[in-house]
Amino acid sequence: MKNRFLLLLSPLALGLALPAYSYFQDQTGWITLFNGKNLSGWTPKIRGHKAGENFANTFRVEDGVLKVSYDQYDGKFNERFGHLFYRQPYSHYRFRLDYRFVGEQAPGGPGWAWRNSGVMIHGQTAKSMELDQDFPVSAEVQLLGGPETGNRSTGNLCTPGTNVVMDGKLITQHCTDSRSDTFRGDQWVHLEIEVNGNGIVRHSINGKEVFSYEQIQYDPKDKYAKPMIKDEKLQISGGSISLQSESHPVEFRNIQIKPIT
């Protein structure tokens, strides 16, 4: 599996012709994945709907920004968790974007999802998700906004259908907090993720490393992960990247990736 993803990366790493769904590669190797005009190259998957169906225009582009909105929902959120998948899998890379939370949470959204979104890495594909599946099997770089008072970290880790290793120990709890500061209001926050296949993963917020772990692997107890386990091999070396929709409006911009070897 590792070799397969390295082969996918090699044309980019060597600076050869880019696929039509990548838009711009600068002189330092950063590739822009979002063209600021439309969702070309991205596929939505929203719970209860087939892959490719952008229910109620949840994911949209306005003023050059990728927005997650719920103003066209029929009254309540109704657990319609969604994800927007980039069409190409990656294994070894650095990924970065700016995000911010805006407005009010959709009616009926769960309390824990207030100012809550994320970037899913090493994930399954949109088409492989079941119709009523909440979240792709993946590792989530959790993005949280802070309340008016009190602390709430961002750049955390959540693990739908997966486990990771930290300090030599297998971590099976669903979410683990980072060491980040708290970011309140509608300010833009810069996220960067360094992913090294099945090796170390680092989360950085506004240029400061706040979290690290390694050996992303399938959770054999998870019903969605079980079918993905082949020959009892749990380790995950690469996969999809997706942006999350969890009931609070959020905006993304400057979405870029830089393959590394």
pLDDT of the chain, 261 residues: tens digit per residue: 434 333 344 344 333 334 444 456 777 899 999 999 999 999 999 999 999 999 999 999 999 999 999 999 998 999 999 999 999 999 999 999 999 999 999 999 999 999 999 999 999 999 999 999 999 999 999 999 999 999 999 999 999 999 999 999 999 999 999 999 999 999 999 999 999 999 999 999 999 999 999 999 999 999 999 999 999 999 999 999 999 999 999 999 999 999 998
From residue 37, give the alpha-carbon distance in Å to each of 18, 214, 221, 248.
Answer: 19, 35, 41, 22
Residue 237 lies in a domain: yes
Q: Is residue 58 part of a domain?
A: yes
- The CATH code of the domain that includes 131 is 2.60.120
Q: How far apart are CA 58 and CA 26, in angstroms?
A: 30
Q: Is residue 228, in this structure, part of any structural domain at all?
A: yes
Residue 193 lies in a domain: no
What pLDDT, on a 0 to 100 scale, did the predictor assign at position 149? 96
pLDDT given at position 25: 76
In a domain, 242, yes or no: yes
Residue 237, CA distances (Å) to 45, 95, 200, 207 in order: 23, 16, 11, 25
Q: Is residue 102 part of a domain?
A: yes
- φ and ψ at residue 44, rounded to 5 degrees: -80, 145
- Is residue 219, in this structure, part of any structural domain at all? yes
Res 56: pLDDT = 98
Amino acid, single-letter form, for residue 239: G
Q: Please report how many Cα atoms fall inside a 13 Å half-sphere around the Cα of residue 5, on the Cβ side.
A: 22
- Domain span at residue 44 reads 2-146+163-179+210-259
Longest dimension (CA), the chain: 49
Predicted local distance difference test score (pLDDT) of residue 1:
41
> Is there a domain that residue 12 lies in?
yes
CA–CA dist 50, 178 (Å, integer): 34
Region of 56 (left: φ > 0; alpha: ψ -120 to 50; beta: rest) is left
Domain count, the chain: 1
Instruction: Measure the CA–CA gap between 33 and 22, rounded to whole angstroms.
Output: 5
